Amino acid sequence: MEVEGSLSTTNQDSRPTLRSRGTSAGLKANNSKELKFIEFDDKGRPIGPWRDKFSCDMGIIARNIKITIEDWSKVPEGQKESIWLDAKNKWNITDAGKRKAVLSYVSLLFKDFKTYLTIYFVYKTRNQRRKVSLDDPLSIYPQITKEVWEEFVRQRMDANIQDKSKKARVA
């Protein structure tokens, strides 16, 4: 007789063995010892079989740049050099001439990330249209502190930025 809450003493050898889920494909790819090479087209966009993984890696780097920096030209040179060295080592980029393409690509991703934050979390225009409820950006992006977020919102609500945004939408 089994009492609720007590452990059952059944023979565990009679149960079928279940396979565990295992590691995700992304983790396997990150830990892979396979050499990854990335190339760029004439417009500086990544091409080749590793372009998606490269884009993902560079996006992670771009999201870790402080969002209160106005534009890419104001990112400290030391940080740009660090980004270049990380990309160069991880992606076996031997041509120093590719530095401009890599940094240009990261600058585009940085700008896109700030635009995404502005549209979805500051103005909240896309959320209302799509009826999508997004969490607070601080819970989604732990690298953004409350102080940094408040400064970013202040910057985005500035009249100069608003005018620049209106001109860009008209153009």
Give yes or no for a contact between 122 and 156, defined as CB atoms under 8 angstroms apart. Answer: yes
| pLDDT exceeds cutoff 70 at 2 | no
| pLDDT exceeds cutoff 80 at 162 | no
pLDDT band at 53 (very low <50, low <70, confident <90, very high): very high
Angle at 170 between CA 168 and CA 171, to 5 degrees: 65
| pLDDT exceeds cutoff 90 at 16 | no
State how far the Cα of 98 lies from the Cα of 114, in Å rounded to an integer.
25
Q: What is the pLDDT of residues 68-92, one digit of tens each?
A: 999 999 999 999 999 999 999 898 8
pTM of the model: 0.73
Encoded tokens for 9:
């003493």
State how far the Cα of 78 lies from the Cα of 88, in Å rounded to an integer.
15
Residues paired with residue 47 on neighbouring β-strands, in sequence order: 39
CA distances from 123 to 34, 133, 149 (A): 43, 14, 14
Q: Residue 45 CA to chain centroid, in angstroms? A: 17
Domain boundaries, the chain: 37-170
